[in-house]
């Protein structure tokens, strides 16, 4: 496991190439324990595959990565055991016609916890979902479905939680509300959370942002020029955690931010 002074996720040149070409390449990440980190990139840039890799669910072809002290190439099964994924299509096998209380009871039992009615009610109340206990999953709106998906994924108390495409079906305001909720979870529980995003106005609410495509870098620069930085930065005024190279830096002084 990592100590308090070492990033819990650290990659160098992490890449995945297939016969059809690169899926993602040269990913350089350094994410601290208990952070909410955003993988910010255009559609199709490989964010989902990168998240699956970091959660131990997908192999990579180049570079290296350590996740919570484990060598991801050799110990992916150990990484898989301490992580969970949600909001990826078909990743969570729930019966859409089932009621939330029944889905949650089954999940709690799978992770070795009590699925009794009182425990289910307590868990739903903790996640502010008690009013939806009798609702069917298929009847939830997009915002409540995503909230329940996250609560379900957290039932086993993972140390690492991947949340992909949280903006799908949501307004920008709803997406920001979800980001703030995830940030509070990360800080209060010490859980490291990675989210996949394609809109910088939402990504800037994370503790750290990794820009995964040129299109995303262009969008970030445009937002910063129009609205200013969301957090103070002595180098270029970008959101906390954004890593820039000389070609992408957009500060007035032209200084470079270096990792």
Distance in angstroms (rounded) separating the CA atoms of residues 94 and 20: 32
pLDDT of residue 138: 87
Q: Sort strands 192-197 and 160-163 into parallel, antiparallel or unpaired.
A: parallel
Q: Give the Å distances, CA to CA, from 76 to 29, 57, 216, 234.
A: 17, 8, 29, 38
Kindly report the pTM of this predicted structure.
Answer: 0.82
Both structure tokens of 140? 């939830």
Q: Spell out, as residue ranges, where the chain has pLDDT lower than 70.
A: 1-5, 87-94, 227-259
Distance in angstroms (rounded) separating the CA atoms of residues 195 and 24: 16
Q: Which helix (H) or strand (E) holds 104?
A: helix 100-110
Whether residue 131 contacts residue 99, with contact meaning beta carbons closer than 8 Å, is answered with no
């Amino acid at each position: 496991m990592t100590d308090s002074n070492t990033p819990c996720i650290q990659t160098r040149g992490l890449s995945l190439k297939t016969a059809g070409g690169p899926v993602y390449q040269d990913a350089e990440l350094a994410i601290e324990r208990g952070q909410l980190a955003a993988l910010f990139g255009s559609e199709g840039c490989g964010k989902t595959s990168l998240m699956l890799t970091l959660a131990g669910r997908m192999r990579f072809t180049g570079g290296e990565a350590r996740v919570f002290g484990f060598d991801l190439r050799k110990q992916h099964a150990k990484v898989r055991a301490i992580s969970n994924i949600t909001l990826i299509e078909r990743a969570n096998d729930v019966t859409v016609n089932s009621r939330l209380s029944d889905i949650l009871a089954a999940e709690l039992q799978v992770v070795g916890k009590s699925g009794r009615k009182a425990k289910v009610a307590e868990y739903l109340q903790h996640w502010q979902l008690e009013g939806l206990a009798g609702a069917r999953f298929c009847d939830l709106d997009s915002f409540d479905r995503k909230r329940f998906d996250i609560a379900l994924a957290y039932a086993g108390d993972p140390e690492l939680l991947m949340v992909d495409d949280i903006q799908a079906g949501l307004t920008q305001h709803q997406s920001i509300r979800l980001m703030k909720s995830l940030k509070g979870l990360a800080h209060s529980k010490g859980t490291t959370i990675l989210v996949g995003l394609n809109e910088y106005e939402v990504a800037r609410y994370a503790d750290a942002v990794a820009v995964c495509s040129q299109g995303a870098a262009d969008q970030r620069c445009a937002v910063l020029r129009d609205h200013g930085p969301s957090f103070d930065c002595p180098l270029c005024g970008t959101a906390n955690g954004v890593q820039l190279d000389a070609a992408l830096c957009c500060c007035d002084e032209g200084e470079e931010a270096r990792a």
